């Protein structure tokens, strides 16, 4: 179970803790809070992947959208070049490494990759080849053009040898991409990655960097390192507070990255088969919704991910996604709707549309009688009129007057329900302290709420 709570609700956290205490094994409950990293776990959102390109796609999903898509596409390519290079060097990518090599330059990765390539293709004495020795001599004497200050003399010689003495058929696509980035104008490269670097900086600054890019060999950090696969296999309950009130930008980035990683995990479950149920709860969904969450809503149920989203108004979702049409598209992927009290008219209209209309029968009965002037003479009449009209199953004004915890629900199978939630007290010690829930009543066509 994964609970994403942007605002850190104490009641929701305590209810989750109490449920774990009552029904699960010890140490089931896990917590993550950006403001209190020392009390929670470390999360690695780049641990699970089947193809290196998946990591670039996750980072792209949390980048701010641009009109033409060119900056987003280049950001994906910049991340992918670094990831492919790290994989070639048998290093596990993480957010800190990505930030380091995108912001500081690809040079260390390229140099390590070329060393391995020459060792594998030219043998152990590759530095003694005449062409390589000449290039190394020229590079150390400053005769080779230096694209950036971070490039060492050895790297200049290695790149020059690769460009001029390695046949096209023997070249490696990963190295080609790194050389292309290495030769790219540095100033222009920084401009076109302007959308990418702020996002990476948010996720790697201070203690947050050590929490989201955990170092397993750090002997001074005893916090457990978790990822969604470990959480799933061990049956943990992860409560993620995003701390959106004081730091909304970072909260949005963390939530979006977590959802992107979970969507990738859903894809792995599709490919590999064999999974246990995952329950995902997203509170204040308008703060974190992105394309991966919509993909989870659209396809996740078959992969065993069952999602519950809580939100205030349709306008919040429309502002986040850019239009009311996009908000309605996202909501269309949810099977069940539970509506508590709502004052927002567009939200009320959406709920009323979901519940649909029903036939209302009206019966009018007329009875009249009268007496004439003569005793014993009288008259009477009786009439019955039955009319039918289609009205909303739940009127909009009723939604704005619901008492606390009372709701209308449209659930799978087309059932319409009126009910009330029980109040859960996580600090109660005796089971009897929890009040009995009020019976749920199902509405039939034509029946008033």
For residue 317, the tally of other CB atoms under 10 A from its CB is 21
For 229, residues 6+ apart whose C-beta sits below 8 A from its C-beta are 47, 48, 265
- Give the count of beta carbons closer than 10 Å to the beta carbon of residue 26: 7
pLDDT recorded at residue 448: 52
Find, among 419, 358, 287, the residue nearest to 8 by Cα.
Answer: 287
Q: How high is the pLDDT of residue 304?
A: 85
Q: Specify the pLDDT at position 67.
A: 54
pLDDT of residue 437: 53
Tokens of 394: 């739940």
Sites in the chain below the pLDDT cut of 50: 430, 432-434, 436
For residue 434, what pLDDT is reported?
Answer: 47
What pLDDT score does 432 carry?
A: 46
CB 44 within 8 A of CB 31: no
| Separation CA 141–CA 156 (nearest Å) | 11
- pLDDT value of residue 206: 83
* pLDDT given for residue 219 in this prediction: 87
Structure confidence at residue 444 (pLDDT) = 61
């Amino acid at each position: 179970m994964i609970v994403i709570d942007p605002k850190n609700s104490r009641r929701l956290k305590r209810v989750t803790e109490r449920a774990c205490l009552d029904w699960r094994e010890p140490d089931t409950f896990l917590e993550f809070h950006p403001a209190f990293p020392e009390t929670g776990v470390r999360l690695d959102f780049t641990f699970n992947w089947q193809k290196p390109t998946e990591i670039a796609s996750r980072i792209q999903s949390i980048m701010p959208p641009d009109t033409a898509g060119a900056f987003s596409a280049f950001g994906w390519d910049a991340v992918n070049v670094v990831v492919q290079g790290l994989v070639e060097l048998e290093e596990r990518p993480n957010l800190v490494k990505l930030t380091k090599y995108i912001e500081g330059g690809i040079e260390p990765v390229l140099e390590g990759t070329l060393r391995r390539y020459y060792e594998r293709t030219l043998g152990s004495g590759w530095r003694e080849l005449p062409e390589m020795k000449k290039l190394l001599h020229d590079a150390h004497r400053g005769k080779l053009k230096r694209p950036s200050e971070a490039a060492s003399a050895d790297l200049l010689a290695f790149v020059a040898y690769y460009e001029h003495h390695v046949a096209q058929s023997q070249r490696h696509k990963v190295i080609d991409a790194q050389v292309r980035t290495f030769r790219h104008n540095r100033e222009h490269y920084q401009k076109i990655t302007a959308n990418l670097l702020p996002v990476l900086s948010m996720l790697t600054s201070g203690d947050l960097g050590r929490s989201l890019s955990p170092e397993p060999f750090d002997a001074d950090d005893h916090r457990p390192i978790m990822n969604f696969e470990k959480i799933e296999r061990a049956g943990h309950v992860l409560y993620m507070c995003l701390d959106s009130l004081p730091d909304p930008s970072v909260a949005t980035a963390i939530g979006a990255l977590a959802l992107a990683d979970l969507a990738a995990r859903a894809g792995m479950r599709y490919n590999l088969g064999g999974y246990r149920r995952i329950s995902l709860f997203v509170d204040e969904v308008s703060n974190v919704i992105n394309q991966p969450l919509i993909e989870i809503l659209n396809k996740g149920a078959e992969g065993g991910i069952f999602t519950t989203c809580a939100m205030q108004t349709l306008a919040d979702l429309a502002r986040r996604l850019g239009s009311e049409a996009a908000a309605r598209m996202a909501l269309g992927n949810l099977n069940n709707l539970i509506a508590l009290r709502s004052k927002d008219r567009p939200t009320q209209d959406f709920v009323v549309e979901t519940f649909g209309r029903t036939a209302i029968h009206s019966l009018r009965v007329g009875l009249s009688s009268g007496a004439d002037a003569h005793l014993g003479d009288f008259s009477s009449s009786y009439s019955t009129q039955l009319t039918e009209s289609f009205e909303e199953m739940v009127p909009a004004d009723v939604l704005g007057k619901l008492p606390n915890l009372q709701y209308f629900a449209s659930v799978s199978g087309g059932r319409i329900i009126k009910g009330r939630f029980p109040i859960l007290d996580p600090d109660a010690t005796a089971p009897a302290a929890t009040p009995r829930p009020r019976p749920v009543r199902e509405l039939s066509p034509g029946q008033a709420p």
